[in-house]
Amino acid sequence: MIETRLGEFEEVILLLVGILGEDAYALNIANEFESQTNRAVSIGAVHSTLTRLAEKGFLDSAMGAATAERGGRRKRIFRTTATGEKALKTSREFKLSLWKQYPAFSNLSFTVN
Amino acid sequence: MAQQQRTPPRWAERIITWLLKEELAEEVLGDLEEKYYQTGEAKSWSRARRNYWYQVIHYLRPFAINIFRSNNSIQLIMLKNYIKIALRNARKNAAYSGLNIFGLTLGFSACMLIFLWVHHESSVDRFHDNGENIYRVMRHMHQSNGTAITMAYAPQPLQDVLMSEYPEVENLAALSWNLDLLFERGEVIGNEFGFYASEGFFDIFSFELLAGTEAVLADPTKIVITDKLARKYFDVIEDDFSDVIGQTILVDEEEPFMVGGVVRAPGHLSSLQFDWLLPQKGLIDANSWMRSWDSGSIRTYVELAPGTQPAVAQRIEQEINDHVEEDIDERLTLQPLGDQYLHSQFENGVISGGRITYVRILSAAAIFLFIVVCLNAMNLITAQSTKRTLEVGIRKVLGEAKSSVRFQFLVESLLFSLTATLLALACTWLLLPYFSTLIDTSMNISDLGLEVWMYTLLLVLMAGTLMGLYPALLLPAIKIIYALKGTATRSLSAGSYRKILIVFQFSISIIIVFAAMIISDQVQFVLNKDIGIEKENLILVEMEGELAGKYDTYRNELLQIPEVSSVTSTSGNPIRYGRSTGSALWAGKDPGNNTDIGIMLVNDDFIETVGIKLLQGRTLSGSYGADTSNYLINEEAAKIMGFENPLNQRLSVWGTEGNIVGIIKNFHTHDLYEPIGPMIINYYPKRTEVALIKMNETNSDAIAKIEALTTTLSPKYPFEFEFLDQSYAESYRNEVVVGQIIKLFAIISVIVSCIGLFTLTTYSTFLRTKEIGIRKVYGAGTNQIILMLSKEYSVLILISIVLALPVTIIYAQDWLEQFQYRIDLSAFNLALGAIVGMAIGLITVGVKSYQAATANPMKSLRNE
């Protein structure tokens, strides 16, 4: 069994960080998660996962710009690291290989844009 | 939206700032604030607040919070030591600690239940998004005799005036009276409850539409039903109501309506209750009389632009007077939506109470109980801690500061209050279902917001500080030298403060006992009062559908049932009667007199069936021929008309002139909060709507026969009936329930006070063990010793009673004032309460004293 080191929620968060690019800070990631999955999530839960991912070396972060609606406070912008992207790829390949071994799905083709 | 400053909840912000790791503070607070404004602008500000709290709670995760701000500091080590010592002490005096915690738990549980109830009551009708700007139009009909009748029903044209001439009115909803209509779809038939509503209904109220559009009430062919009705009449798969839209349902046997919307049932936090809504337009088109300014059939709710309430209130006041030509005085006021549930009672046009009275009584009882419980615990803790002067002395010798000793005792009392609160939470959780059945609300622990837990925390802190206050002040102050010598105990225990506490605590308990006695007496009085109607074994059946035209058959068949003794029909339930007129005319009536007089339309045998006493003249009956234009009046009406001999005087009601043929004794048509009003009875069988059936005895067999008969005559309508005595008792449910709760409170506070008294007696006899031993050796008898020991506390109890009496009398009078018919505060009752309080106190003290007095003096003197 290949160890992907990524939970389902972690994987989604990691992907969202990549998607959001320069706008990837905790609140925005939580909002994006809610709108894409229709599941409620608290900012705290997302933040906790972001911290864990950073500890694993999949993310790094830096303080970004401040805006007025945040009471002039800066936000922490997260970025995926090379290790993070590698982990995502490994995870996807592992899953694809599982899908291919599933007889009913094995002849489906997967297109990725 | 008002230009008011919106900021995130201050407390939530403080908590998160305090708990959060410093390096995370900036980004997290920024995110939370941004989220707050996003939610506020997209949804509502109250929701944003709630969400902020939600987010804060969810940030309390190990990664983010800062538990070990100063690990291994000296304070932390000392804190551990204090807790250890506290636990050891509690274990050493297990009986005392157990009793103390038991008392606290009992009291806290009761307070929490009441708090939950108050919280529930005050959140009714608060869920509407713009609730603070929604008002109900109230109409006050001022009578010539200076009184005013208040109702929520205003003339229908008012809504058009408000819509067209008042720019401040942003939304308006007009609701008809509540009514039960027969719903039918295939095999499913039932009487369903609801009202007609104008188009603005969904704009103003935040009832959640599950399917359909909000504009549905503009279309007179459509109906809105609740999810409950949708499930009853249609096949609903899971929570998908979209299939129900567009289907038809037969209403009132004639009209098929198309379902245009499914709304979530209002739930117990709404005082507006309905299972269906029909467009108001259809109702008004069918009833042209509603279009008149003389009628009053519509409840009007308005949503005003923020801040415009005073201006609108001023303009709206004379709106009816301005549109009606007759010389009347009716004024309109605006009542905030949030008040309509608790402040529903008006007297002469001014809010006089309602459910709020009971919220207040119970809150006061809960606060008092809380104080009693805390004082009691404080007393016990102090008594115990005086045994620990040696410990305090040694701590001080070893260099502990006064403030640390103080902190130690506060920690101990906080531990007590924390333990008790946790136990009380568990009790509350277990008892809540029973409690909410008892008081007839559906409270649920899951409805509770965060505030409740915040208050619980506050309770722990408040109670803990209060309880520990005295020992914390007292003990650090003792002189080391006396403490170490062992003589500090005597000097401490002699303090008079404990006596004051006992007096205070007992006074409050006695007040609660008195309150319980008085409320239950009044409730008994109300329930047993002769209301002028023989309501026992009297059944009311609504004559709906086919039954309406078949009264004669129905009556004849009913009289065949052996248990039925007589039958009549009237225009409404005589114990809850509302129809009245201001236009009755009689000879010599003052033209300026517009007093509303109740008018009841009845059938043959009315007086006999209902059991009203006929004072003069004869009853009304079809056998006299022209009785449709003859009248009976009650004593009150006779007084208002002012005839010397009212019999055979002419009286005209609604344009029909006739004679007064009899005078009947006054009977109550409302609850006992209101005086008996004047009443005219008219013989008019065609317009009677309910059948009243008097029986010799009530048994299920007879009811079954009546049911069988009713359903044969009117097969479509479900058989519904009520016993008048039961529904009379039902209308005093509030009072009955409050009476029961207060009784419970009285018992709890007496138990807690007795626990306190018992432990204190134990303590003071313990201090005097040696004295008692020596006295016995010198020949003192058991009686003398008991007397000596109980004297001190007996005097205190007596003082408490003396203090409690005037307070009770003042408040009880005040509460009783609101009943037009009430008990007198009898000296006997008060004396009885006082004696009971005294007896309980004396027994408690006596038991312990007896124990001490009969102990073998050898034992107490030996260990020298």
pLDDT at residue B864, rounded to an integer: 52
How far is B29 from chain A, CA to nearest CA, in Å?
8
pLDDT at residue B136, rounded to an integer: 92
**CA nearest to B751, candidates B112, B103, B108:** B103
Is there a contact between B30 and A42 if contact means CB atoms under 8 Å apart? no
Instruction: For chains A and B, count residue pairs whose Cβ atoms are closer than 8 Å.
Output: 68
**CA nearest to A61, candidates A47, A71, A73, A72:** A47
- CB-nearest to B29 from A44, A45, A73 is A73
pLDDT tier at B73, thresholds 50, 70, 90: low
On whether the CB atoms of residues B241 and B230 are closer than 8 A, the answer is: yes
Is there a contact between A52 and B63 if contact means CB atoms under 8 Å apart? yes
DSSP letter (8 states) at residue B533: S
pLDDT at residue A16, rounded to an integer: 94
Cα B340 from Cα B343, distance rounded (Å): 6
Does the CB of B33 have a partner CB in chain A at under 8 Å?
A: yes
- Closest-CA residue in chain B for A25? B31
Instruction: Tell me the torsion sign for CA atoms B272, B277, B281, B282.
Output: negative
Q: Which residues contact B239 (CB under 8 A, 6 or more apart)?
A: B210
- CB-nearest to A44 from B33, B37, B55 is B55
Q: Give the pLDDT confidence of B307-333 residue by residue, as tens digits.
A: 888 888 888 888 888 888 777 788 888
pLDDT at residue A80, rounded to an integer: 93
Is there a contact between B31 and A51 if contact means CB atoms under 8 Å apart? no
How far is B37 from chain A, CA to nearest CA, in Å?
7
- Closest-CA residue in chain B for A26? B31
Counting residues of chain A whose pLDDT is more than 70, the rounded percentage is: 89
Contacts of B28 in chain A (CB under 8 A): 26, 43, 47
Q: How far is CA B625 from CA B479, B629, B772, in A?
A: 101, 10, 93
pLDDT tier at A50, thresholds 50, 70, 90: very high
Q: Give the pLDDT confidence of B128-154 residue by residue, as tens digits.
A: 888 889 999 998 888 777 778 788 888
Other beta carbons within 10 angstroms of residue B77's beta carbon come to 10
pLDDT at residue B447, rounded to an integer: 63
- Closest-CA residue in chain B for A43? B55
- Closest-CA residue in chain A for B20? A44
Phi-psi region of B781 (alpha: psi -120 to 50; beta: other; left: phi over 0): beta
Other beta carbons within 10 angstroms of residue B777's beta carbon come to 12
Is there a contact between A69 and B64 if contact means CB atoms under 8 Å apart? no
How far is A37 from chain B, CA to nearest CA, in Å?
18
Does the CB of B578 have a partner CB in chain A at under 8 Å?
A: no
Contacts of B61 in chain A (CB under 8 A): 44-45, 48
How far is A86 from chain B, CA to nearest CA, in Å?
25
Cα B505 from Cα B793, distance rounded (Å): 13
Q: φ, ψ for residue B705 (rounded to 5)?
A: -65, -40
- CB-nearest to A70 from B34, B61, B64 is B34
Determine the Cα angle at B374 with ends B372 and B377, to 5°.
Answer: 110
Q: Give the pLDDT confidence of B844-864 residue by residue, as tens digits.
A: 888 888 888 888 877 777 765
Q: Which residues contact B848 (CB under 8 A, 6 or more apart)?
A: B758, B761, B762, B765, B789
Average model confidence (pLDDT) for chain A?
85
- Closest-CA residue in chain A for B39? A31
pLDDT at residue B67, rounded to an integer: 60
Contacts of B59 in chain A (CB under 8 A): 42-44, 47
pLDDT at residue B710, rounded to an integer: 87
pLDDT tier at B626, thresholds 50, 70, 90: low
Is there a contact between A26 and B28 if contact means CB atoms under 8 Å apart? yes
Is there a contact between B55 and A43 if contact means CB atoms under 8 Å apart? yes
User: Facing residues of B301 across strands?
Assistant: B136, B173
**CA nearest to B686, candidates B558, B585, B552:** B552
Buried b / exposed e along A48-63 (16+ C-beta atoms within 10 A) = bbbbebbebebbebee
Is a pLDDT exceeding 60 seen at residue B188?
Answer: yes
Other beta carbons within 10 angstroms of residue B485's beta carbon come to 12
pLDDT tier at B3, thresholds 50, 70, 90: very low
Q: Give the pLDDT confidence of B470-492 residue by residue, as tens digits.
A: 888 877 877 888 778 766 655 55
pTM: 0.69
Does the CB of B26 have a partner CB in chain A at under 8 Å?
A: yes
> How far from chain centre, in Å, is Cα A109?
25
DSSP letter (8 states) at residue B613: P
Candidates B27, B43, B47: best to mutate against A (most CBs of A within 10 A) is B27
Is a pLDDT exceeding 60 seen at residue B495?
Answer: no
Q: What is the ipTM of this complex?
A: 0.86
Is a pLDDT exceeding 80 seen at residue B107?
Answer: yes
How far is B158 from chain A, CA to nearest CA, in Å?
44
- CB-nearest to B35 from A27, A48, A66 is A27
How far is B25 from chain A, CA to nearest CA, in Å?
10
**CA nearest to B407, candidates B314, B480, B360, B471:** B471
- CB-nearest to B58 from A25, A42, A67 is A42
pLDDT at residue B5, rounded to an integer: 62
Contacts of B63 in chain A (CB under 8 A): 47-48, 51-52
How far is B263 from chain A, CA to nearest CA, in Å?
23
Counting residues of chain A whose pLDDT is more than 90, the rounded percentage is: 38
Does the CB of B54 have a partner CB in chain A at under 8 Å?
A: yes
Cα B446 from Cα B232, distance rounded (Å): 27
Is there a contact between B26 and A73 if contact means CB atoms under 8 Å apart? yes
Q: Which value, in Å, is the radius of gyration of the alpha carbons in chain A?
A: 16
Which of the listed ranges A27-36, B236-245, B397-406 does the model predict with the highest average pLDDT?
Answer: A27-36
Is a pLDDT exceeding 70 seen at residue B537?
Answer: yes
pLDDT at residue A17, rounded to an integer: 94
Average model confidence (pLDDT) for chain B?
83
Cα B321 from Cα B332, distance rounded (Å): 9
Is a pLDDT exceeding 50 seen at residue B802?
Answer: yes
pLDDT at residue A1, rounded to an integer: 33
Q: Give the pLDDT confidence of B630-686 residue by residue, as tens digits.
A: 888 888 888 888 887 888 888 888 778 888 888 988 888 877 777 788 888 888 888
Contacts of A44 in chain B (CB under 8 A): 55, 57-61, 64
Pairing of strands B298-304, B329-336: unpaired
- CB-nearest to A48 from B29, B30, B63 is B63
Q: φ, ψ for residue B359 (rounded to 5)?
A: -60, -40
pLDDT at residue B449, rounded to an integer: 65
Q: φ, ψ for residue B693 (rounded to 5)?
A: -120, 120
Chain A contact residues (CB < 8 Å to B): 25-27, 31, 42-45, 47-48, 51-52, 63, 66-67, 69-71, 73-76
Does the CB of B10 have a partner CB in chain A at under 8 Å?
A: no
Is a pLDDT exceeding 90 seen at residue B339?
Answer: no
pLDDT at residue B593, rounded to an integer: 73
Counting residues of chain B whose pLDDT is more than 90, the rounded percentage is: 5
Q: Give the pLDDT confidence of B261-279 residue by residue, as tens digits.
A: 899 998 888 888 899 999 9
Contacts of A71 in chain B (CB under 8 A): 29-30, 33
Contacts of B32 in chain A (CB under 8 A): 27, 43
Q: Which residues contact B551 (CB under 8 A, 6 or more apart)?
A: B543, B569, B603, B685, B688, B691
Is there a contact between A69 and B34 if contact means CB atoms under 8 Å apart? yes
Cα B242 from Cα B142, distance rounded (Å): 49
- CB-nearest to A43 from B26, B35, B63 is B35
Candidates A42, A53, A59, A63: best to mutate against B (most CBs of B within 10 A) is A42
Contacts of B31 in chain A (CB under 8 A): 25-27, 43, 47, 70, 75
Is there a contact between B35 and A48 if contact means CB atoms under 8 Å apart? no
Beta strands in A1-113, from DSSP E residues, in sequence order: 59-66, 74-80
Is there a contact between A42 and B63 if contact means CB atoms under 8 Å apart? no
Q: Give the pLDDT confidence of B371-421 residue by residue, as tens digits.
A: 888 888 888 887 777 778 888 888 888 888 888 888 888 888 888 888 998
- CB-nearest to B30 from A44, A52, A75 is A75
B692 versus B720: the higher-pLDDT residue is B692
Is a pLDDT exceeding 50 seen at residue A3?
Answer: no
- Closest-CA residue in chain A for B27? A75
Cα B772 from Cα B135, distance rounded (Å): 71
Is there a contact between B58 and A67 if contact means CB atoms under 8 Å apart? no
Buried b / exposed e along B78-111 (16+ C-beta atoms within 10 A) = eeeebeebbeebbeebeebbebbbebbbbbbbbb
Does the CB of B55 have a partner CB in chain A at under 8 Å?
A: yes
Cα B836 from Cα B397, distance rounded (Å): 50
pLDDT at residue B576, rounded to an integer: 81
A41 versus B697: the higher-pLDDT residue is A41
Average pLDDT over residues B449-461: 77
Query: Which tokens is B68 given?
Result: 């070990």
Q: Give the pLDDT confidence of B33-61 residue by residue, as tens digits.
A: 888 988 888 888 888 888 898 888 888 88
pLDDT tier at A110, thresholds 50, 70, 90: low
Is there a contact between B27 and A45 if contact means CB atoms under 8 Å apart? no
Average pLDDT over residues B293-309: 87
Classified as helix, coil or strand, B781 is coil
Could you tell me how many residues make up chain A? Answer: 113
Is there a contact between B28 and A75 if contact means CB atoms under 8 Å apart? no
pLDDT at residue A47, rounded to an integer: 92
Cα B492 from Cα B473, distance rounded (Å): 12
H helix or E strand, kind and range, residue B650: strand B650-653
- CB-nearest to A43 from B32, B37, B60 is B32
pLDDT at residue B215, rounded to an integer: 82
pLDDT at residue B343, rounded to an integer: 82
pLDDT tier at A26, thresholds 50, 70, 90: very high
Single-letter amino acid code for the residue at B601: L
Is a pLDDT exceeding 90 seen at residue B454?
Answer: no
Burial label, B314 (beta-carbon count in 10 A; 0-12, 13-18, 19+): exposed
pLDDT at residue A78, rounded to an integer: 93
